[in-house]
Copies of this chain bind each other. A is one copy, B any other.
Amino acid sequence: MSINNFLYPKSVAVIGASNDEKKIGYQILYNIISNNYRGAIYPVNLKDKEVLGIKACVSISKIHQKIDLAVIVIPAEFVADEVEKCADAGIKNIIIISAGFSEVGGVGRVREVKIKELAAKYQLNILGPNCLGMINTGGNLNATFANAKNKKGRVAFVSQSGAVCSAVLDWAEDKNCGFSKFVSIGNKAVLDENDFFEYLLDDKETDLVVAYLEEIKDGARFMETVSRLSRIKPVGILKAGQSSEGAKAALSHTGSLAGSNEAVMAGFRRAGVINLENLEEMFDLLLFFARSRKIANNKVAVISNAGGPMVATVDLLSKAGLGLEDFSDALKKKIQAVLPLIVNVKNPLDLIGDATAERYKNALEQILKNSDFSFVLVLLTPQSSSEVKETSQAIAELAVKNKNKTVIASFMGGESVYEARKILSAGNVISFDFPNQAVDMIYEIAEYQKDKSGLKNYKRNFSPSTGKIRGEQLDYMASLKMLKKYGIDTIPTTRIRKESDLAKLKYPIAMKMVGKKLIHKTDQKAIALNIKDGNEAKKALSDFTALRKVKGNYCVAQPMGKGLEMIVGFKRDKSFGPIIMAGMGGIYAEILKDVKTEIADMDNKRALSLIKKLKMYPILKGARGQKAYDIKNIVKLIINLSKLAIKNKNIQELDINPVFVTRKGVFAADVRIIY
C-alpha cells in the first residue's frame, strides 16, 4: 500500500497526547504543533479536555473526522486495542512509539504478533513499535519525540535504532544539516526499510539516502529496491551486528535474528550500496551528503598553510588511489599572478605558514573558476599570522558562489578554529575536523560513481525454500549428474564396485571414497592421488576396505586432474538467496582465503567482474607472459552454477572443490551438494 498518505497526512491524531512536559506524549504533540504542521491535529487523552491548547478527545473512536495518521504513545499493553479502534475509525496509517514489544521478548513478542495480524487484517501502514517516530520536512511534519527542529535538506535518513536517531538529530542541529525524510523504523513489525527505500525512488525531495540497519529480513526486496535506488541516488548504509558477537548483542537488543553477514555484504554490492564501517563514517557521510554537489570527476586539489598536514593528506589520497593531478600551466599562471612569488604553485598548493585570508581566497578562487577539479580540499592549522575566521569567511563565500564544485575544509585545532568551522558549515562548506575524513568520503563517493554505471536492476529470482532442510549430502554420482544437467563439465568418473573394474582404467588416476559422512576426504583418508597403475590402484582399494563397509559409501576413480585448481559453489541465504562463491583452490585455498562472493543472478558481466576481483586473476589472465587460462569457460561455469542455484531451491549448499581450470576447458573434479 502506498505510504504517501502516511508521510504527508492531512490530519494527525496523537493517542496518548499529554500536558505533562516530561511525557513523550507531550513532546510528540509539541513537535507536531511547533513545526508548522498545516493539517488538523487531534490529541487523544483520557482525562484532559485540552492538550497544549488543542481540544482533546477521550478516545480515537469519538473524533468522527477523517484522520490520515495516528501516533500511539501509550503503554504497550493497551496498544493493540487502540490499533483496532484506529482501524475501525478508518485510519490506515499508524506510528507506534511505545516500547515493550519484541525487543523485551516473551509477552512483548506476543503483542507484536497481534499488531502484525491487525495490520494484515485491516491493511494498515504501521511504523514501529519501539521507535522515535518520523519527520517529513517537506510536509512540515515532525512526529517524533526528539528535541529537534525541522531543517529541510536533500538527505533521507532511515534508522532501525532510535538511539542512533537521537544522536543524529542532535548532531545535525549542531552541524546545520537538514533532512528530507527522517524515519525511525524501530522493530519494523509492518513497515520496514524497504517500504521507505521504495518510496524514495520517486521522492523529488530526496537526492541522497543514508540508513542504519541491524538486520534485513527481506534481502531480495532490498536488492530489488536499492539496486534501482542507487542508480539514481547514492545510498550509504551502516549495517550493525556484522560480527557474530555483534549479532548476538543485536539479537538481545532488537529481538531480531541477523542473517549471514557475508550475504548482506554481497547484497550491498549487488545493490550498489556504499558500505559504512562505523558510526563515525556514517556521520561523515551525512555531513558530506548534506553539502556535496554534482560530481563530475575524482580530481582533488589541495590547498594548505601547513606543509606537514598537507604531506600527510597527499599520502592518504595516494593510498586511496586518488592521485593528485597537477594544475595546468594556464591555471598555474593565473594562480601565481595572485600569490606572492615565494609560493611554489602546483597541486598540492602550500600557501606557507604565514598565509593570510586573502592568499587563501585568491588561490581558491582561481581553482574554482578556472579548473574542472570537482573537489577542493582546504587545510588550515592556526599559526601566528593565520586569519582563521576571515579565511573561513572567504572560503564560505566562494563555496556559495561556485555551486558546481565541492569545497571541503579541514581546520585543525581547538578553540581557535571552532568559530571558523561554524562559518564554513553555514556557508555550505563540508567541514571535517581531520583531512582523512575528507579523503575517506571522496574515496567512497568515487567508488560509488564508478560502480553506478555498471549497475543493473536486480530482480527476485528465488523464493524461500519450502521443503524440509535435511542437511544431508546428495549421492555423489547424482551430484555429478546435476552439474552436467546445468552444462558444467566434470572429470569422467567411474564407480569402482570390484577390483576387476580397475583393469579398464587409463592411468594415472585419483581414487576416492564418497558417502554421506565423507566430507573432508583428505583428513578422512578417503582419497588417493597419482595412482600410476593397476597394482597401486588395488592397494588403494584395499586401504579403503573399512570405509567401503559403511553403508552408502562407495569408491570412484577419475583421471588425475590437470590445470589450476579453483573452488566454486554457493550457499543459500534465507534473506538474500543463493550466494555464489569462487576462489583459489588447492593448498593455498584455505590459507590465502582468495574467495569472493556475489549474489546469484549472474550474467557475463557480473560473473567476469567476480573473477576479476580475485587476487589470482592475474594468474588466470596469464601472468609473466604465460598463456591465459580459459576465463570464458570459468564465466560460463559461474553462470551455470547460478542457474542451478536458482532453480533448485532445495539445495542449501554446493561446493565444487577442486575445479580444474585449463587453457581450454574447466572441469569439476569433486562436488558436494547439501540439500
Contacts and interface: CB of A to CB of B under 8 A. Distances in A.
B315 A246 contact: yes
Q: Which 6 A-B pairs have the closest CB atoms?
A: A161-B308, A174-B414, A163-B306, A243-B318, A253-B307, A170-B413
Contacts of A324: 245
A381 B164 contact: yes
A591 B623 contact: yes
Interface of A: 24, 27, 99, 103-104, 145-147, 159-164, 166-167, 170-175, 212, 214, 238, 240-246, 248-250, 252-254, 277-281, 283, 305-312, 314-319, 323-324, 342, 344, 346, 348, 350, 353, 381-384, 412-417, 433-437, 522-523, 587-588, 590-592, 594, 615-616, 618-619, 623-625
Nearest to A160: B308
A344 B255 CA distance: 13
A253 B379 CA distance: 15
Given A163-B383, A590-B618, 4 more contacts: A243-B318, A245-B315, A245-B317, A587-B619
Contacts of A435: 278-279
B167 A309 contact: yes
Contacts of A254: 307
Nearest to A312: B240
Given A174-B415, A243-B319, A310 B434 contact: no
A249 B280 contact: no
A253 B350 contact: yes
Given A246-B314, A318-B246, A436-B279, A618 B594 contact: no
How often does this chain occur in the complex, in copies?
2
Given A104-B342, A384-B24, A167 B238 contact: no
A277 to B, nearest CB: 8
Given A306-B161, A619-B591, A314 B243 contact: yes
Given A214-B308, A307-B253, A278 B436 contact: yes
Contact of A280 (B252, B314, B346, B434): B434
A413 B279 CA distance: 11
A240 B308 contact: yes
Nearest to A213: B308
Contacts of A436: 277-281
B243 A161 contact: no
A315 B212 CA distance: 14
Contacts of A315: 240-243, 245-246
A450 B490 CA distance: 49
Contacts of A412: 167, 171, 279
Given A307-B163, A312-B240, A433-B280, A587 B249 contact: no
18 contacts: A166-B383, A167-B412, A170-B382, A170-B414, A170-B416, A170-B417, A171-B413, A172-B414, A246-B311, A246-B312, A249-B311, A278-B312, A280-B433, A280-B436, A523-B625, A590-B623, A591-B616, A591-B619
